[in-house]
Amino acid sequence: MRSVPKYLVTVLLFALACFLASASDPSPLQDFCVAINNPTSADSRKYRKRLGSNVTLVNVDKLPGLNTLGISLARIDFAPYGLNPPHTHPRGTEILVVAEGTLYVGFVTSNTDNKLFTKVLNKGDVFVFPIGLIHFQFNVGKTNAVAFAGLSSQNPGVITIANAVFGSNPPINPDVLTKAFQVDKNVINYLEQQFK
Amino acid sequence: MRSVPKYLVTVLLFALACFLASASDPSPLQDFCVAINNPTSADSRKYRKRLGSNVTLVNVDKLPGLNTLGISLARIDFAPYGLNPPHTHPRGTEILVVAEGTLYVGFVTSNTDNKLFTKVLNKGDVFVFPIGLIHFQFNVGKTNAVAFAGLSSQNPGVITIANAVFGSNPPINPDVLTKAFQVDKNVINYLEQQFK
Amino acid sequence: MRSVPKYLVTVLLFALACFLASASDPSPLQDFCVAINNPTSADSRKYRKRLGSNVTLVNVDKLPGLNTLGISLARIDFAPYGLNPPHTHPRGTEILVVAEGTLYVGFVTSNTDNKLFTKVLNKGDVFVFPIGLIHFQFNVGKTNAVAFAGLSSQNPGVITIANAVFGSNPPINPDVLTKAFQVDKNVINYLEQQFK
Amino acid sequence: MRSVPKYLVTVLLFALACFLASASDPSPLQDFCVAINNPTSADSRKYRKRLGSNVTLVNVDKLPGLNTLGISLARIDFAPYGLNPPHTHPRGTEILVVAEGTLYVGFVTSNTDNKLFTKVLNKGDVFVFPIGLIHFQFNVGKTNAVAFAGLSSQNPGVITIANAVFGSNPPINPDVLTKAFQVDKNVINYLEQQFK
Amino acid sequence: MRSVPKYLVTVLLFALACFLASASDPSPLQDFCVAINNPTSADSRKYRKRLGSNVTLVNVDKLPGLNTLGISLARIDFAPYGLNPPHTHPRGTEILVVAEGTLYVGFVTSNTDNKLFTKVLNKGDVFVFPIGLIHFQFNVGKTNAVAFAGLSSQNPGVITIANAVFGSNPPINPDVLTKAFQVDKNVINYLEQQFK
Amino acid sequence: MRSVPKYLVTVLLFALACFLASASDPSPLQDFCVAINNPTSADSRKYRKRLGSNVTLVNVDKLPGLNTLGISLARIDFAPYGLNPPHTHPRGTEILVVAEGTLYVGFVTSNTDNKLFTKVLNKGDVFVFPIGLIHFQFNVGKTNAVAFAGLSSQNPGVITIANAVFGSNPPINPDVLTKAFQVDKNVINYLEQQFK
């Protein structure tokens, strides 16, 4: 009997990684089903740290038992005046509770009116950031702040706007950004410098 | 022009309460959509308090902005040796993080094997209770404990086993309970006394 | 070329078993997709038999063609005065029709009020048990009874309350059960004896 | 204060009828939520009766408690050689069990190959008809037959092919049917006569 | 160490093909997840070509990046008087826009009333065909026509009624078709001839 | 009998608007269900026009029959060198086909790596933009271009990044934007000027 080509198994493992991450947020079909791991990036963490915030996301990669269960949890630590910059979760709504400190939070609605909703949250206050909308959290106090957030997906994803637009790899064509932001190329280059 | 019978509006309001609570956990179709309120019971809260725990659930009734967003959040406070007794969430998975103290937590799988999974959680530890499974949290420390939990529905529901089985209104037929628990009627009566 | 380590294939098969059971109740993406088998427990069947009921569940494990189709079917046979004891389906709603005999059925709502709804069903009558709620069926006639039930998942799961609470493996910490049921340890021990 | 125009309430009632039928098969957000009624047609029942079959569907219109619970149940009675003719359920998979008699059943897959799968089912046998596929049940015995079917929607819908194609109201343009079935107009007219 | 039996890998590949096609229309759990290929049939294309229409479906098989994203797109080309014959999509709703020419389109509702809705669409007009309902498009102009259609599944499926009923493989039992269409066997045989 | 307070009806109408927009993308429970209208903004259209692109979205507001059907369609017209600037759809994946001209398109993945995927599309080419990811389309030809896009929601929403971040109403706190983009306040003010 001939042995099995290695590449086949590689294909299978890749496909499984896909599946185990991508199946069925809506409802599990077993009590639970352990998943396997995806890589995640270090750059966006560094950037956030520079801004004085640190997100520890417990998603299906950290807690394989979450697989198929449609939820994840994040702890967000803020230095004084630390910022969790404008970002979206492409696959989840976020519900946040302040455990320590005072946060100024907000989100912007879609193009129906691009309305900004903001609130100052003290310890124990709760706020919701609807799926896919741009939102931020800012520690407006002199002390550290801590918040916990539930997200409505086992792998909600995070898109930090500044990173994704001005720090993508490779960079977005400058003609596109110049037109989109309606400023001259120097401003776009300057912005891109910050995310090299 | 004749005016509108009141009962019609009552029907409409009831139906809307239904709808606004019952639409679309899977995905919203607007940035957000404000809901209206459902009644919730005081009895189970009293019972929990007697056991030294207190659950503050921020679901769609407390935070109408959650409507259609498929998530809710709970804060659970434990007195020393306080217990959040065995219960299920019929419509949601729970992900829990310990903010203060030490909790002994566990859940039992379905009849495939009724296996008990338990863990002692310290500050910062995270655990998952899959949708519909019986689970509990017990403060095994001498100090207060606090936990936050995300739930994968805007209205996950709670069924406290002891309450629902021995304290339902009206009570479940004693022949059913006697057979189910395979003990004599006195034991069932005794158990029911505790939940009158 | 070197051959492939066995454990790899084991991992793959496990993962597939997961997947094939856990993908997509909400909607299939093919006409059908054959699944593979999960183990199921004998103990709960024995217990039910002692109570004079027998459940034959045609789920995705019995009928692999059900995979991804979001439904299953059960036949429940009752001896005279046979009981299908209080249980929940963590992942499915049940719709039941009586084919022979007379059943006394009921379910208890969640902690909003723990209200008990009951009805006596004769041949041809239909009843619904909403997802995750505690329910039971009791043959109140002198003759055998037969019912068929549709369940809204290819793998709805079953949690028999008495089994899961007093017969889990290992047992739930007696301090937890004593507190939860507010009775002394002897009663809990006595109850646990019945499920050893 | 001026009273409320009637048409407003009509709009509301229509909208509610829509909603109460159309919300959230995937998962409820309450223990249950009572619905209101939709009209259903008498013609297709007459036609089925002529063929010696009778379908009693318990969907959300018959059992309002089914609303949002994503399941329904049908009882199908067959006279000797009675036929439940080729039809589809646009919004649900069907799982069928034979309670009495012997049925010859089948379904045709989609255009990937239009393969016909058939089986002769005796009392107690179970079969699945995947969502949206054309299927039929034929009593091949000299005696009556009875089957029960679970369907994976609170309102799965039924499309009897012959009725919908040759008996629609108004009729489909004969040029369309002549081309589609590649026969001359007489044959199409003849077929349409049967469903006037 | 022994090498791995081939059949195991075959099982795995089959299962993966299943999975990658069948997981999670409702919502992805990754930015994207590349799928692998399914076979599709040539016969229904030939038949359509004979009728003067040609459907180019970009589903997950043509564009693996669609996997888990719940949508696909079709281009439909019509010769003068070309017909896209009555068909259903068992797993998707279709939204169609006319890019060139003039189309007469229609769909028939389910057995609630089998009502036919039709419209003549000119360049730029848009129409919707709800999931699972029988519908058609007919080029009523002297020139070619082109339409684009979005479908609400990565693999919506197509069932051409005439093909599936009179051209299935093997053929449906003539007793079934004779009864269903209420005509004599010659007519059924004649119809079946057209799809040999 | 007293007449009905107006505000009640207002509440009902608001709630219905919510509902009719927000129910059940995953699957309808009727053949179709007509919706009612939401307002949409003129500003983002003006901005896009300045960039030489124009989006005509046929969503549930334009085509009420789409309600509950989980899909919508857009036509995008581009002047020479016209740009559809970086934006996201918070509730839908987009599949795009080029009907005329040549487009340079791209999207950026989430923070796993913020990778940019781009392609030059000619007439007939198809591309996918996964749910929630930032993407753009740029007409790189000297002639007009036209594209059609299917979106996997009846109301996918649009968030134009530049508008939402620098043109929200009221503006986002400049401290937040200055930190997030790591540039001095003048640059932020300059950018905000473009969206006044």
Q: Which residue is listed with tokens 């359509």? A: E48
pLDDT digits (tens, 9 = 90+) for C115-172: 999 999 999 999 999 999 999 999 999 999 999 999 998 888 999 999 999 999 999 9
Percent above pLDDT 70 for chain B: 76
**Mean predicted confidence (pLDDT) in D82-109:** 95
Look up the pTM and report it: 0.86
pLDDT digits (tens, 9 = 90+) for F82-109: 999 999 999 999 999 999 999 999 999 9
The pLDDT of residue B69 is 80
Q: Domain locations in chain F? A: 42-157, 168-196
Question: C35-47 as b/e, with b when 16 or more CB fall inside 10 Å?
Answer: bbebebbeebeeb
CA distance linking residue F7 with residue B20, whole number of Å:
18
Nearest by CB to B23, from F11, F24, F155: name it: F24
Secondary structure (DSSP) of A67-113: TTS--EEEEEEE-TT-EEEEEE-TT--EEEEEEES-EEEEEE--TTT
The pLDDT of residue A36 is 46
CA distance linking residue B162 with residue B94, whole number of Å:
20
CB atoms F58 and E26 under 8 Å: no
The pLDDT of residue A44 is 75
Query: Distances in Å between the alpha carbon of A133 and those of B59, C5, D124, F88?
Result: 20, 46, 52, 9
CA distance linking residue A88 with residue A70, whole number of Å:
18
Q: Which residues in chain A are closer than 8 Å to B130, comparing Cβ atoms?
A: 28, 31-32, 65, 69
Question: B18-51 as b/e, with b when 16 or more CB fall inside 10 Å?
Answer: bbbbbbbbbbbbbbbbebbebebbeebeebbeeb
CA distance linking residue B176 with residue B180, whole number of Å:
6
- In the β-sheet with F94-100, what is the strand arrangement from edge to edge? F53-58, F72-78, F145-151, F94-100, F126-129
Q: Which residues in chain A are closer than 8 Å to C61, comparing Cβ atoms?
A: none
CB atoms E112 and D190 under 8 Å: no
Contact B149, B73 (CB under 8 A): yes
Q: Is A192 annotated as a binding residue?
A: no
Contact C29, E25 (CB under 8 A): yes
Q: Is B119 exposed, middle or buried (0-12, 13-18, 19+ CB in 10 A)?
A: exposed
Q: What is the mean pLDDT of chain B?
A: 82
The band of B9, judged by pLDDT with boundaries at 50, 70 and 90, is very low
CATH top-level class of D42-157 = mainly beta
Half-sphere exposure of A14 (CA within 13 A, CB side): 11
For residue F76, the distance in angstroms to the closest alpha carbon of chain C comes to 29
Three-state secondary structure call for residue D100: strand
The pLDDT of residue B59 is 75
Q: Which two tokens stand for residue C153?
A: 């998942």
Residues of chain C with pLDDT under 70: 1-41, 60-61, 64, 67-68
For residue E125, the distance in angstroms to the closest alpha carbon of chain C comes to 29
| Nearest by Cα to E97 from F128, F148, F151 | F148
Q: Is D175 exposed, middle or buried (0-12, 13-18, 19+ CB in 10 A)?
A: middle
The band of E1, judged by pLDDT with boundaries at 50, 70 and 90, is very low
pLDDT digits (tens, 9 = 90+) for B41-86: 677 778 888 899 999 988 766 776 776 688 899 999 999 999 999 9
pLDDT digits (tens, 9 = 90+) for E61-85: 777 677 667 889 999 999 999 999 9
The pLDDT of residue B37 is 44
* Among the ranges given (A90-104, E13-27, F144-158), the one the predictor scored with the smallest mean pLDDT: E13-27
For residue F61, the distance in angstroms to the closest alpha carbon of chain C comes to 26
Percent above pLDDT 70 for chain A: 76
**Mean predicted confidence (pLDDT) in B104-126:** 94
The pLDDT of residue F28 is 61
Q: Which residues in chain B are closer than 8 Å to D36, comparing Cβ atoms?
A: 11, 15
Q: Is A100 annotated as a binding residue?
A: no
Helices (H), chain A: 6-22, 43-50, 161-166, 174-181, 185-193
Query: Distances in Å between the alpha carbon of D106 and those of D85, D109, D127, D138, E33?
Result: 11, 10, 9, 9, 35
The pLDDT of residue D47 is 87
CB atoms A124 and B99 under 8 Å: no
The pLDDT of residue D58 is 81
CB atoms C36 and E15 under 8 Å: yes
Half-sphere exposure of D23 (CA within 13 A, CB side): 36
| Nearest by Cα to F85 from F130, F128, F48 | F48
Nearest by CB to A91, from F43, F131, F176: name it: F131
**Mean predicted confidence (pLDDT) in D20-36:** 50
Q: Which two tokens stand for residue B48?
A: 């929990």
The pLDDT of residue D60 is 66
More confident residue, A195 or B26: A195
For residue D143, the tally of other CB atoms under 10 A from its CB is 11
The pLDDT of residue E70 is 83
Q: Which two tokens stand for residue C55?
A: 């459940």
* Among the ranges given (A169-178, D130-139, D185-194, E36-45), the one the predictor scored with the smallest mean pLDDT: E36-45
**Mean predicted confidence (pLDDT) in B101-128:** 94
**pLDDT by position in tens, chain F (length 196):** 334 444 434 333 333 333 333 333 445 656 665 554 444 567 777 888 889 999 998 876 677 677 667 889 999 999 999 999 999 999 999 999 999 999 999 999 999 889 999 999 999 999 999 999 999 999 999 999 999 999 998 888 999 999 999 999 999 999 999 999 999 999 999 999 998 8
The pLDDT of residue E108 is 96
> Residue F75: which residues within 8 A CB-CB, separation 6 or more?
E97, E124, F55, F56, F58, F146, F147, F148, F149
> Residue A62: which residues within 8 A CB-CB, separation 6 or more?
none
Chains touching chain A through at least 3 C-beta pairs below 8 angstroms are B, C, D, E, F
CB atoms A73 and B126 under 8 Å: yes
Chains touching chain B through at least 3 C-beta pairs below 8 angstroms are A, C, D, E, F
For residue C171, the distance in angstroms to the closest alpha carbon of chain B comes to 7
In sign, the C-alpha dihedral spanning A14, A19, A22, A28 is negative
Q: Is the pLDDT of residue D6 over 50?
A: no
Contact F43, F162 (CB under 8 A): no
pLDDT digits (tens, 9 = 90+) for E101-152: 999 999 999 998 899 999 999 999 999 999 999 999 999 999 999 999 999 9
According to DSSP, the residues that pair with C134 across neighbouring strands are C108
Nearest by CB to D190, from E157, E159, E183: name it: E183
| Nearest by Cα to C59 from C101, C103, C89 | C89
pLDDT digits (tens, 9 = 90+) for A111-155: 988 999 999 999 999 999 999 999 999 999 999 999 999 999 888
Q: Is E169 annotated as a binding residue?
A: no
CB atoms B164 and C110 under 8 Å: yes
More confident residue, E159 or F8: E159
Nearest by CB to B66, from A31, A75, A128: name it: A128
CA distance linking residue D66 with residue D25, whole number of Å:
10
Amino acid at A171: P
The pLDDT of residue D2 is 38
> How far does chain F reach from its first CA to its final CA, in angstroms?
53
